[in-house]
Structure 1
Amino acid sequence: MTGTETPSRTVFVDVDGTILEHGSVIAPSTIAAIRAARANGHLVYLCTGRAEGDIHPTVRAIGFDGAITNGGAFATIGTDLVVSHTMSRPDLDRLVAYFVAHGIHYFLQAHDHIYASPGVFAMMNEFVRLRAERRAEDLRHLGHGDTADLLDAVMTDAAERYSPLDEADLDEIAKAVFVSEASDTVSRAQEDLGDRFHVIPGSMPLPGGSNGEIGPLGVNKGAAIVEVLGHLGRSAEEAVGIGDSWNDVEMFEVCGVSVAMGNADPELQAKADRVTTGVLDDGVWNAFVALGLI
């Protein structure tokens, strides 16, 4: 089926766990699906919790019509920034004070950069090692044999992606990501900060503890999609949202058709209209085919 046989649709695609698996592995069919859908006249936007500056170059190289980033805090149409919702300084000061008081390590995200609190990398060493191992498994799954230097590559990538906290412009922060040795930090933060913040579980596969994402109430992927569609003069009914994480819930609620990845939490899958296959098992391709986008 081609784009000339169906009305043009606007598709919003999550990154981690939807396009990417374990940091940088992409199924070739995902690249082909996105490019084919755009060739058929559909608009395809990234819709990610990552900062703009943290989107992997291999993802950018696929080609998109724009991007929603930082979980809905920013959005671009082409290269034009059309949505920008930074955190107020009183809210940010409260959030940082909470992290410090509870011994929680954290990242602060701006539009282009991510800033890491002291000690966060020491806690995440095991996570980085596990991610390198899983990335090697993913590459072997896709038929790549040489994975010997992956740990060094992943460690170097992590060190280059994040800047020290003291370099941050605190008036430009939109979102925080935290990692904690305690297993109940997400639920505690929801209770303690829920009056002003949207607190959700994160997607880092840590060997222990917990992690989560925090942004201002009302700033989420769904709200940003509504804003982007308003700029485009398009309706939410014709929009498609594809994702695998808890920051995709509002995207599912807004888009006319929602698709959960096969690797998503079963509870999240239950909130979607459809479930496709896993991220490395042609999940995006199969979803696009099922929806008549390609």
Structure 2
Amino acid sequence: MGKILFIDVDGTLVDYETNLPDSAVEAVRRARKNGHRVYICTGRSKAEIYQDIWDIGLDGMIGGNGSYVEDHGNVVLHRLISKEESKRIVDWLHDRKLEFYLESNNGLFASENFESRADASLKEYARRKGIDGADRVTVRSIFPDMIFGGELYREDLNKVSYMLHSYQDFLDTRAQFPDLESGTWGGRGEEALFGDLGVKGITKGKAIEHLLHYLNADKSDTIAFGDAKVDIPMLEACAYGVAMGSGGDEIKKVADFITDDVDKDGLYHAFSRLNLI
């Protein structure tokens, strides 16, 4: 067996406008042809892995920041938020008037007013990521397959993301759900735009460990590629870690190597430097 490669999606495999560089596709295909295994390792649920990504050719995926693991179509691990806890989350967010969307392998399910109220936050998120035409970003352009008007009391949830009116909303929600994993995204600390809730103890790193056990493989054969703080456990779980040049300072500090920006063929250059292609 060659190396086992774990690649984050947003900001690593695709740019912040979800464009997939041809060079990244070539790098993955050549690496697999050379006998290496390639898995995406992402916060997205399977419903958000669109066909253009699968068409690259992959050995599997880690989704929901580690709650779901798949190898060649076989489900290796899937840890869900319980139906009772899901109902409690939905009721709490409704009571707080915090719009949200539910993330599952069967789709993304938006709360009643998410489309209209999340518009400004997503535009700000796009501006922070340096996306051209950020003011034209909409909920439907960011989440093209999001389901509106669907059932919100569900038993298939990997994660829940919700809008923040203030950082206090995150602090209160974290205190309300101590048995779940709480995080924020879209900015650091008080600048965060969204909060999220997931299964306690789930990380990309722990999911990698679970997959390696399933494959009877060793950490020494692993390389991780990421761009954000949430990817740090992924880099720490692997023998070698690569940060994208367009990534954040926090992940660059723990990486073994910093490649070029995602939209400047960073993934391809990293694969070449590491003699994967």
Q: 1:226 & 1:217 partners in 2: Cα distance? A: 16
1:163 and 2:147 correspond? yes
1:118 and 2:112 correspond? yes
Q: 1:249 & 1:185 partners in 2: Cα distance? A: 25
Structure 1 residues 200, 290: CA separation in 2 closer, same or farther (over 3 Å shift)?
Answer: farther
Deviation, structure 1 residue 175 = 0.7
Equivalence map 1:137-286=2 (5 Å)? 151=136, 156-158=140-142, 160-164=144-148, 166-168=150-152, 170-193=154-177, 195-203=178-186, 210-286=193-269
The two structures have a TM-score, normalised by structure 2, of: 0.86
Contact 1:225/1:251, CA 8 A, preserved across alignment: yes
Query: Tell me, which stretches of 5 or more residues in structure 2 are unaligned?
Result: none
Deviation, structure 1 residue 79 = 1.2
User: Higher relative contact order by CA 8 Å / sep ≥ 6: 1 or 2?
Assistant: 1
Structure 1 residues 209, 253: CA separation in 2 closer, same or farther (over 3 Å shift)?
Answer: closer
Q: 1:228 & 1:169 partners in 2: Cα distance? A: 30
Deviation, structure 1 residue 10 = 0.4
Structure 1 residues 262, 248: CA separation in 2 closer, same or farther (over 3 Å shift)?
Answer: same
Q: 2:266 & 2:171 partners in 1: Cα distance? A: 31
**AA paired with 1:34?**
V
Deviation, structure 1 residue 165 = 5.7
Deviation, structure 1 residue 84 = 0.8
Equivalent residue in structure 1 for 2:61, among 67, 70, 85: 67
Deviation, structure 1 residue 134 = 5.9
* 1:244-284 per-position Cα deviation (integer Å, ceiling 9, x unaligned): 12321221221111111112220222122222221101111
Q: 1:137 & 1:179 partners in 2: Cα distance? A: 22
Q: 1:42 & 1:282 partners in 2: Cα distance? A: 20
Deviation, structure 1 residue 158 = 5.0
Moved more, 224-233 or 163-172: 163-172
Deviation, structure 1 residue 100 = 2.7
Deviation, structure 1 residue 190 = 4.2
- SS of the residue corresponding to residue 254 of structure 2 reads coil
Q: 2:35 & 2:15 partners in 1: Cα distance? A: 27
Q: What is the number of residues matched between the two proteins?
A: 273
Deviation, structure 1 residue 118 = 1.5
**AA paired with 2:179?**
R
Partner in structure 2 of residue 290 of structure 1? 273
Q: 1:272 & 1:187 partners in 2: Cα distance? A: 30
Equivalent residue in structure 1 for 2:73, among 41, 63, 79: 79
- SS of the residue corresponding to residue 62 of structure 1 reads coil
**AA paired with 2:198?**
G
Q: 2:16 & 2:187 partners in 1: Cα distance? A: 9
**AA paired with 1:36?**
R
CA-atom RMSD in angstroms = 2.8
The two structures have a TM-score, normalised by structure 1, of: 0.82
State, as a whole percentage, how many aligned pairs show the same letter. 25
Structure 1 residues 169, 94: CA separation in 2 closer, same or farther (over 3 Å shift)?
Answer: closer
**AA paired with 2:113?**
G
